[in-house]
Structure 1
Amino acid sequence: MFDTKKVEIEWGGKTLTLETGKVARQADGAVIATLGETVVLCAVTAAKSVKEGQDFFPLTVHYQEKFSAAGRIPGGFFKRERGATEKETLVSRLIDRPIRPLFPEGFYNEINVIAQVLSYDGENEPDILAMIAASAALTISGVPFMGPIGAARVGYDGENYQLNPTDEMVDAGLLDLVVAATGDAVMMVESEAKELSEEVMLGAVMFAHKEIGKVVNAIISLAEKAAKDPWELSTGDDNAAVKAELKKLIGDDIAAAYKTTLKSDRANMLNAARAKAKEAMADKSPQEQMVAMKLVKKIEADIVRTAILKDGRRIDGRDTKTVRPIVAEVGFLPRTHGSALFTRGETQTIATCTLGTKDAEQMIDGLNGLSYQHFMLHYNFPPYSVGEVGRFGAPGRREVGHGKLAWRALHAVLPTKDEFPYTIRLTSDITESNGSSSMASVCGGSLAMMDAGVPIKRPVSGIAMGLILEGKDFAVISDILGDEDHLGDMDFKVAGTSEGITTMQMDIKIAGITEEIMRTALEQAKEGRAHILGEMAKALDTTRTELSAHAPRIETMQIDKSKIREVIGTGGKVIREIVAETGAKVDIDDEGLIKISSSDLSQIEAAKKWIQGIVEEAEVGKIYTGKVVNIVDFGAFVNFMGGKDGLVHVSEMKNERVEKPTDVVSEGMEVKVKVLEVDPRGKVRLSMRVVDQETGAELEDTRPPREERPRGERGERRDRGPRRDGEGRGDRGDRGGRSRGGDRDRGPRRERSENEGPEPEFAPAFLKRDDD
């Protein structure tokens, strides 16, 4: 029934399987990719015709993680997969970015790529498998896809590169890098690193590219068995004559616009040139007009690229290495915990840092179960930042992706939770944009955290690099503008500290780049990052030593694990009482680490003192401050160590005689006491009379010592009456023992049967009866 085609290869010590023909047979291409026990299905469908007036390529990629893949049921009310999570959005972008440039220019048919995780073994990550499955499905579908591509994850332990490392290996290592590539060139790079050198990062990319070649060959083998007939594309006219006519008409206008430094003026001049071209084509058909407008874009690209590649002259007059002017300001907002205004040319962000307690952590429900994130970075891109009218609301895929890139750049320099037990939220609100707002978010976020007093290891800066490539000639440009990004061949972002790279992201708009180009871009980016760090240091060169007055304070204390139960109390009674009485938040983990937080230091101290009273042992001779909690006839009970009470006997309240405890103390009264004794059962005897109740100082005990009463000789034993047998104790009745019921005659004694056994030896004497 099934015409199944399958390819298997050994890859990184595991078996990678690509299979088609058994599932989703009505899709144009469907592949099940398996690595270990992780299984991903990717199905590709393409529209057979183009919508009228379509002038862009409508490629949509969806990645979905099925909770059933890990044997889990989704949380929440609906108990089913809902909208895309942040991870699903990021992986969708991860698949989209390397395949989009590999469709031919002018191909505008709508394509859906849907990847679903069907099984997850907790070891082999499904994102790499989804990228491979998508590439294989496109390759066998027959659509004009100039692939295939492969993908791989690379780790680094300080000495060796690791292919497709597990989560545990990544956490313990220094690098988490994802590469997508064809058999000839690298297409995409995404990474998070712990301050690694350019040489190590480049080596990781090349290592990945070598391993990816095996996957590309496997996809080609599958295509040889199962690929559908390729689509026929109409070649059409290259429109050279129309392009030449348009260039003659508006070429000088476009060249003049791209020599204008100010973005708004440049945009106005370009819009005027485009309107001039549109007016000249007014008598043409709608299709011809659409083609003409695309040709105008090509003319713009040709003019900009030629000026950069041949003359070294950029749109705003800079050379290829110069970074735009930078102005950085910290403490920009008065009530935030930390803030910075970072401006680089016409790109600007307001970055804010907010500190919170553990209960502000983000809960993430994924295939690996529940996890908690204590560092968040949220990137916002309102339409006014580019002078446009547009949608304003929930973040889209681009915002999520840019925020995650900045998150990776800063994550490597954060202090550990033991060093800084706060939840950290950064926001980057882009207020102006003309090139690399994500790298501005890195710079602004770094300054905002330093302003908030977060003890990061070192400041982080970021820069975006571009590429103009014509044949063998190329130019790498630093700190690209928005127009240079749109008209160039590469968007290469690098962020890091003075010690090394923390993140690197690359997207290619052509069929890949070589090792030589990447090496040049990395070295040029290093120079640019160092310059930006110097400009940032003018605003703030080190982390502030004090937190904002508006930030919560968190103090930690470690207690013995055996005392955790006492601090929490039955059903949480004790810890709730501490929180209610002091106003501080108290969190305790399974190892006995307690975090006490409040914006009021006095509340923290009160909670800390309470907990210390619970876990510490009373020390004989030490003076404590306590509260009277109960008064009895013979004294008062004082709570003096949170969970500990001691007795102040009435004789220990004052040196003079006290008739009633209520003459001296009342319930709720605060008193100072000295520990006199702790008996083996833990009961504590306290004294008030030897402590100055005003100052808490110990007083000299002026009461004369109690005189010892002499103990005389014992003498003779007194007569205790007759014995039970009637001898020596007098007559105690007919029973010969003590009477229990008057003179009632109980009758003769019953003989015990053999089954009852002998009379127990331990029976009390008064239950035994004499035989006589």
Structure 2
Amino acid sequence: MKRAEFDIKSVSCRFGRHELVFETGKVGRQANGAVVVKYGATVVLVTACMSADKRPGIDFFPLTVEYREKQYAAGKIPGGFFKREGKPTEKEILSARLIDRPIRPLFPKGFVNDVQIVAQVLSSDPSYDPDIFAILGASCALTISDIPFEGPIVACRIGRQNGEFILNPTYEEQEQGDLDLCVVGYGDKIIMIESGSHEISEEDMVAAIEFAKSHFREVAAAQDKLKELVGKEKASYEPEKLPSGIVPLLKEKYLPKLQEIVNIADKHARMKQFSVICNKAIEELVKEGKGEALPLGDIVFTIGEETFGPTEVKKAFSEIEKELVRDRIFKDKHRIDGRALDEIRPLAGEVGILPRAHGSSLFTRGQTQSLSITTLGTRSDEQMIEGLEDQSYKTFMLHYSFPPFSVGEVKPIRGPGRREIGHGALAERALKSVMPDKDSFPYTVRVVSEILESNGSSSMATVCAASMSLMDAGVPIKAPVA
């Protein structure tokens, strides 16, 4: 029997208290890129895969990110009857979103091949959250792969204790400190910031970001070095783009009407008029002999030597709309709904609107509306968290719900989606620091935000509504949050 041979390459650099290691060539070799990241006792495998063909007819980049923390990584067997991990936990979903946000902007515009990042925690150091190392692994796997990607990026977590910043703080240091900051950068630029803190000053936050940036260079250099050793040539791709003649044609025929539509303040009325003019344009192009109906009901348009379908017509109208809205903001100094750049939407707030709830509020900002309900419970209502860390309990929970009617759509309602979990966690983080401690307020608190209307920043409407409903329930928060 012939012994399997592996061409293993690794690079390392100092990153806080431990050596950070990127290794490739031993596992996950059928992926476009696969990297094992090691830090202390943490080991994370991250793979990047790309479909062979692009996905036609879409106007978004089809990136999916999966993050998994299986109990074996901490030497545990899952609880419950099945003794097996099931659907992603809330922590796994939030970590997947944390990876997605900074890498998504670094794929080239018009690139529409499916890309999937899978991060698996194989071993978990009891002192550190593996999510930062999953971001680093995703960056490195993409950097050495043939997938078009404008990286590498560097991620780090910053804590603060006694006025001193800490790179990659332990769980205990995060708990005891007054800052929990995740910073992701590209070169000397910042791509993403996610933070929770105990009301620190803006100057301190800027100093923390600069502290994070000072540790980027070595980690980026390590990824570049691994790319020199094993990096693949980036795959060529043909970006999705509109036929060159369609935008000028539509502008010539419909620009005055489009300028009128952009000035409509109401979102649904504006969207309806855009749909009307788009359908009208398709009909008129057919009448003018520029379109040909096909047997299955499709239409093919021809301008010069270029052919396209109704989807491209709709995309062209969207491009013109973007241009008009941008001009309105930068040249006319007005937003799409007629407000000045420094003018907020009309506000309304009510409390005590539900007779059986412990606390309730309705917060409205323009066409965004959150109904917030606070319920008080006992210690028996605490949520048990069983993750890779030691078992813990939550006494404050905020759940965000985004039904389809809030944006006038028809969709089935299932369990909470990733977006709902992410927005709920964001609002919960904003309020957590002002909640009373267990000793002075020994209750479990659950806040539910029902989004009844949405036209911009429903997560921040949730924070405002939740703050009011907590006060309505008699929860002695340290200060209102907005």
TM-score (norm 1): 0.58
Partner of 2:474: 453
**Cα 1:353–1:276 shift into 2, 3 Å:** same
Of 417, 423, 426 in structure 2, the residue corresponding to residue 396 of structure 1 is 417
**Cα 1:105–1:279 shift into 2, 3 Å:** farther
* SS of equivalent residue, structure 2 residue 52: coil
Question: How far 1:235 sits from its partner (Å)?
Answer: 5.7
Partner of 1:334: 355
Amino acid aligned to 1:9: C
Amino acid aligned to 1:295: A
* SS of equivalent residue, structure 1 residue 123: coil
Partner of 2:189: 185
Is the aligned partner of 1:405 residue 2:409? Answer: no
**1:522-601, aligned counterparts within 5 Å?**
none
Counterpart-to-counterpart distance in 1, 2:394 and 2:363: 26
Counterpart-to-counterpart distance in 2, 1:327 and 1:54: 38
Question: How far 1:321 sits from its partner (Å)?
Answer: 1.6
Question: How far 1:352 sits from its partner (Å)?
Answer: 0.5
Of 259, 276, 280 in structure 2, the residue corresponding to residue 276 of structure 1 is 280
Counterpart-to-counterpart distance in 1, 2:222 and 2:317: 41
Partner of 2:149: 145
* SS of equivalent residue, structure 1 residue 110: strand
Amino acid aligned to 1:296: F
Amino acid aligned to 1:103: F
Any stretches of 5+ residues in structure 1 without a counterpart? 462-772
Of 323, 326, 329 in structure 1, the residue corresponding to residue 344 of structure 2 is 323
Counterpart-to-counterpart distance in 2, 1:146 and 1:247: 34
Counterpart-to-counterpart distance in 2, 1:378 and 1:234: 42
CA offset digits 1:343-375 (Å, max 9, x no partner):
011100110000000110111110013211110
**1:189-338, aligned counterparts within 5 Å?**
189-234=193-238, 239-280=243-284, 283=291, 284=300, 287-338=308-359
Amino acid aligned to 2:480: P
Partner of 2:399: 378
Partner of 1:172: 176
**Residue pair 1:250, 1:276 contacting (<8 A) in 2 also:** no
Question: How far 1:237 sits from its partner (Å)?
Answer: 6.9
Higher relative contact order (CA closer than 8 Å, sequence separation 6+): 2
Partner of 1:92: 96
Question: How far 1:108 sits from its partner (Å)?
Answer: 1.1
Amino acid aligned to 1:141: S
Of 119, 122, 132 in structure 1, the residue corresponding to residue 136 of structure 2 is 132
Counterpart-to-counterpart distance in 1, 2:212 and 2:470: 34
Of 2, 5, 8 in structure 2, the residue corresponding to residue 4 of structure 1 is 8
Any stretches of 5+ residues in structure 2 without a counterpart? 292-299, 302-306
Amino acid aligned to 2:337: D
Question: How far 1:238 sits from its partner (Å)?
Answer: 6.4
**Cα 1:237–1:79 shift into 2, 3 Å:** closer
Amino acid aligned to 1:68: Y
**Cα 1:281–1:10 shift into 2, 3 Å:** farther
CA offset digits 1:159-206 (Å, max 9, x no partner):
222111111111111110111121132111111111112222222223
Partner of 2:297: none
**Cα 1:376–1:46 shift into 2, 3 Å:** same
**Residue pair 2:111, 2:240 contacting (<8 A) in 1 also:** no
Is the aligned partner of 1:20 residue 2:24? Answer: yes
Question: How far 1:267 sits from its partner (Å)?
Answer: 1.6
Partner of 1:438: 459
**Cα 1:5–1:290 shift into 2, 3 Å:** farther
Aligned-pair Cα RMSD in Å: 1.6
Percent identical: 49
Counterpart-to-counterpart distance in 2, 1:441 and 1:55: 29
Partner of 1:688: none
Of 37, 43, 46 in structure 2, the residue corresponding to residue 39 of structure 1 is 43
**Residue pair 1:253, 1:269 contacting (<8 A) in 2 also:** no
Amino acid aligned to 2:53: S
Question: How far 1:280 sits from its partner (Å)?
Answer: 4.9
Amino acid aligned to 1:13: R
* SS of equivalent residue, structure 1 residue 449: helix
TM-score (norm 2): 0.92
Counterpart-to-counterpart distance in 2, 1:339 and 1:235: 49
CA offset digits 1:669-704 (Å, max 9, x no partner):
xxxxxxxxxxxxxxxxxxxxxxxxxxxxxxxxxxxx
* SS of equivalent residue, structure 2 residue 36: strand
Aligned residues, how many? Answer: 461
Is the aligned partner of 1:80 residue 2:84? Answer: yes
**Residue pair 1:278, 1:293 contacting (<8 A) in 2 also:** no
Amino acid aligned to 1:256: E
Counterpart-to-counterpart distance in 2, 1:236 and 1:361: 50
Counterpart-to-counterpart distance in 1, 2:34 and 2:83: 28
Question: How far 1:249 sits from its partner (Å)?
Answer: 2.7
